[in-house]
Every structure is written in structure tokens, then in C-alpha cells.
């Protein structure tokens, strides 16, 4: 496929195992479990998650990391945390893109068998893919754009043009998404990239279904050439 606090995961040079995460230093999501944070990946398998029926093999757990690579598919949280339904929340994601990768983290969405999710918002995951909407974008609504030479801004939403994406291929980055009421804040490595209040009637966008309501989280596999890794996916219900 985002307010509230400036908390970010501690940096790390190499992925930790699920066992290591509970004892590592810094402000990690797993250390905050006692403060209401809950890790949605167990680091061993996809229990609590359901892949869409198109290309479910695009998702796999390897060495404690969620590897997303393959043809279009979406992985939805369907576990027990908060009944699998979230309205006001903060979520902390630790992700890494590879060259030309495209992906996304959805919220307020719902499971569907196939196709791009028709419900909820998408937070873009893209450092160098040809799509100019980069990491830190509230996709199609508040876009962080990196335009190629001669490329025109896409239609729909508001745009902030930059020379480079807030994320870098091959490096883990912290994605912090917060939703409270009609307010969405997105941070990348502690930097606020989106601070958006949804207007009455929803945002001005060419994408349908962009409305705050409630729902679950989804992770996007975009295409066979895209590879994105996820190390942590921790939520705090507000």
C-alpha cells in the first residue's frame, strides 16, 4: 500500500531473529508491547495473515523476515489482535526495498480475493520504481513525487516534488503511520511526510474507496520484478 509521536525503531545493521527482537536495545516495537504495542508478525510463519487468492506464493517468511516478491497479490491481517479490526491506531513498520521495487501498506481495508484493494488508504513503499509516487506518500492523495526527466505529475491528489525518495534501496527504514479520527500522519525515519486531515466527503482523488472508516491492514506484492522485505509490523490501538 500516516500523528502523533516521534518514536522510531532503533536502527540495525542486520535483521534480528524473532527471539532477538525482544531483548535488543533501543526503541523497538517489541520492547513497547507492555505500552500497548503488539507485533503482528511472529517471525516464523504467516499465522494471522491471509493472502489473496491470486498469487499467494508472493509472500514468504525467511529467516524471520517477510519477503514480498512475485506477481500481484495482497496479504491481509486476519488475526486476533483487536478482532482484526482497527480504527484509531499507530503502526510501526520496518521495511527494505530493492531496486525498482514497488509495494504498499494498506489500512482501513478488507480482505478481497483478487485485484487492488478497493477499500482504505495505501501508504506507498517505493524508492526507485518508475512510479513517481514514492515512500511516504498517502497514495493518490498526498504524494511524495520524484519525477524522471520530462515526466509530468500524475493526476489526482496533492504533490510534493523531491529529488529522491525518503527511503533508500537496500537499507532498512522505519515507517510510522498514525490515524486518529479524520487525521492521518505518515513518518519515514522520523520525518513527517504526510499530515492530512480527511475532508468531509473524502479526499479529491482519482482512486475510489479512499475513506477513513475502520478495517484491517494489507501488504502489497506489486509485480514479479518488485522485492520488499518487512522486519517488523507492530500496532498500538488508540
Domains located in the chain, CATH noted: 28-237 (2.60.120.560)
Q: CA 223 → CA 15, 108, 127, 211, distances in Å?
A: 24, 23, 15, 25
Region 85-111 average pLDDT: 98
Q: Quick: pLDDT tens for 151-194.
A: 999 988 999 999 999 999 999 999 999 999 999 999 999 999 99
pLDDT tens for 5-18 read 333 333 333 334 33
CA 146 remoteness from chain centre:
19
Whole-model pTM: value is 0.85
Segment 194-221, tens digit of pLDDT: 999 999 878 877 677 788 999 999 999 9
Long-range contacts at 60-64 (CB < 8 A, ≥ 24 apart): 63/15, 63/17, 64/15, 64/16, 64/17, 64/18, 64/231
Supply the pLDDT for residue 129: 97
- Can you tell me the distance from the alpha carbon of 120 to that of 97, in angstroms, rounded to the nearest whole number? 23
pLDDT digits (tens, 9 = 90+) for 152-161: 999 889 999 9
| Higher pLDDT among residues 231 and 9, named by residue | 231
Residue 57 has pLDDT above 80, yes or no: yes
**The pLDDT of residue 11:** 34
Say whether pLDDT at 20 is over 50. Answer: no
Amino acid at each position: 500500500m500516516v500523528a502523533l509521536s516521534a518514536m522510531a525503531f532503533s536502527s540495525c545493521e542486520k535483521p534480528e531473529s524473532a527471539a532477538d527482537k525482544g531483548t535488543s536495545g533501543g526503541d523497538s516495537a517489541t520492547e513497547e508491547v507492555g505500552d500497548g504495542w503488539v507485533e503482528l508478525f511472529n517471525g516464523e510463519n504467516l499465522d494471522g495473515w491471509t493472502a489473496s487468492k491470486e498469487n499467494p506464493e508472493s509472500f514468504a517468511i525467511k529467516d524471520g523476515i517477510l519477503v514480498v516478491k512475485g506477481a500481484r497479490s495482497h496479504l491481509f491481517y486476519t488475526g486476533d489482535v483487536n478482532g482484526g479490526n482497527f480504527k484509531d491506531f499507530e503502526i510501526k513498520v520496518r521495511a527494505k526495498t530493492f531496486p525498482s521495487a514497488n509495494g504498499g501498506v494498506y489500512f482501513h481495508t478488507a480482505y478481497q480475493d483478487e485485484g487492488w484493494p478497493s477499500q482504505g488508504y495505501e501508504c506507498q513503499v517505493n524508492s526507485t520504481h518508475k512510479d513517481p509516487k514514492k515512500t511516504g506518500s498517502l497514495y493518490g492523495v498526498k504524494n511524495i513525487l520524484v519525477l524522471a526527466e520530462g515526466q509530468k505529475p500524475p493526476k489526482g491528489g496533492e504533490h510534493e516534488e523531491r529529488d529522491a525518495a525518503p527511503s533508500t534501496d537496500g537499507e532498512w527504514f522505519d515507517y510510522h503511520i498514525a490515524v486518529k479520527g479524520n487525521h492521518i500522519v505518515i513518518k519515514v525515519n522520523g520525518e513527517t511526510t504526510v499530515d492530512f486531515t480527511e475532508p468531509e466527503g473524502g479526499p479529491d482523488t482519482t482512486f475510489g474507496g479512499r475513506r477513513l472508516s475502520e478495517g484491517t491492514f494489507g501488504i502489497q506484492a506489486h509485480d514479479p520484478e518488485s522485492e520488499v522485505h518487512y522486519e517488523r509490523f507492530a500496532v498500538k490501538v488508540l
